[in-house]
Structure 1
C-alpha cells in the first residue's frame, strides 16, 4: 500500500484540483454520518413495522433491562437470545445498514443520502467508483473502527489522506465535491 501512496500519479490524484474535489475532512464526514444515522433509523423503523419485528424489539429491550423475557401471551423464554430478538438484530442492525451503505456507495452517485447532502463521495485509491464488494468490505470494516474505542474513526482527522481504519482496509478515499456554477 505504501508503494501506491508514493507513486507519481498519486500526488496529482490527491490534489484533485482538475476534478474540482479535495479530500473530505473529519467534521464533514461526521455530519454525513449523522444524517445517514437518522435516515437509517427511519428506514429501520418502517421495515420493522412492515416485517412485524415489534416482538423482537420488545424482547431485546427486556434483555437490555435484565428482565425476565416473556412472549406476548406470558410464556417465559429461557434462551440467551430469543429468535424474535435475533431476527430483529439481524434485520435492523446488520442487513439494512449493509444494503444501504454498500448499494449507495457503489452506485453511480458514489454516496449515501447523508454524503450527498454534504457533497461527499467515496472512491477507490484511483478515483474510480467502488464495486459492491469493496463497499461491503468498507461497511463491515467500520465495525473494527468502532470496536477499538472509535479510534478507527478518530484517525480520519489525523491522517495525511483523511482515511479511517475502514478506508485503509478497503483501500478507499472520501472526497469533498466543491459546488460548481455553470
Structure 2
C-alpha cells in the first residue's frame, strides 16, 4: 500500500539536513552509480571501438604511417562512442535520482544511508516532474562555480540553488 502525499509530510519538528550529510549522500550516490557505469563504459567503449575492423586496422598500423585522414576517422569514431555512452549515463543518473526522490523513500540510496530525504517546500512528496526538474537544475546550474551549492550555507532552510528552483527542501528523517 502506497502512502498518500499527506502521510509523507514531515512533522513540525523536522530539521533541515546539514551540508555535510548532503555532501556525503551525494558522494555515496556517486560511488553507487559511478563504479558500475565506469565498468560498463570501459567494456562498451572497447567493444564498440574494437568491433570496427577499419579502426582496428588503423590502430595496428605503425604510428609513423597513420595518415591525418585515418587519425581523424578513429577520433570521430571514438567521440561518437563517448557521446553515446555519456547520453546513456545521463539517462541512468536522471532516472535514478528522479525515480528514487519521487518514490515513497523520498531519497536516493546515499540519502537513505545518511538519514535524509527530499520533500516539497510544503512537506509533501515530490512528483516525478518536480524531481526531474530538481535533477536537471542540479546537473546544469549548481556546478557552475559551485555557486548553487554555496547558497545552501546562506539560506534559512539550507536550500541549494536546485532546491530553490524546484521548491524543495532536504530534511533529516
Query: Is the structural similarity TM-score above 0.5?
Result: yes
Which residue matches 1:45? 38
Contact 1:14 1:22 in 2 (8 A): no
Larger radius of gyration: 2
Distance 1:86 1:79 in 2: 10
Partner of 1:84: 81
Q: May I ask how many residue pairs the two structures share in their alignment? A: 148
Distance across 1 between alignment mates of 2:157 and 2:79: 44
Counterpart among 56, 71, 74 of residue 55 in structure 2: 71
Separation in 2 of the partners of 1:23 and 1:57?
48
Match of 1:31 in 2: 24
Q: After superposition, what is the alpha-carbon deviation per residue over 1:83-135, rounded to whole angstroms, capped at 9, x for unaligned?
A: 2111011112x111111100100111000000000001001111111111111
1:65 maps to what in 2?
none
Q: Which of 106, 111, 133 does residue 107 from structure 2 map onto?
A: 111
Select the structure with the greater relative contact order (CA < 8 A; seq sep ≥ 6): 2
Q: Which TM-score applies when normalising by structure 2?
A: 0.75
Indicate the residue corresponding to 2:131 in structure 1: 135
Question: C-alpha displacement at 1:25, in angstroms?
Answer: 1.4
Q: Which residue of 2 aligns with 1:156?
A: 152
Counterpart for residue 62 of structure 2: none
The 5 A counterparts of 1:6-25 are 16-17=12-13, 21-25=14-18
CA distance 1:173–1:96, change in 2 (3 Å) = same
Of Structure 1 and Structure 2, which has the larger fraction of its residues in helix? 2
Task: Give the gaps of 5 or more residues in structure 1.
Answer: 1-12, 59-69, 178-182
Contiguous gaps of at least 5 residues in structure 2: 1-8, 59-69
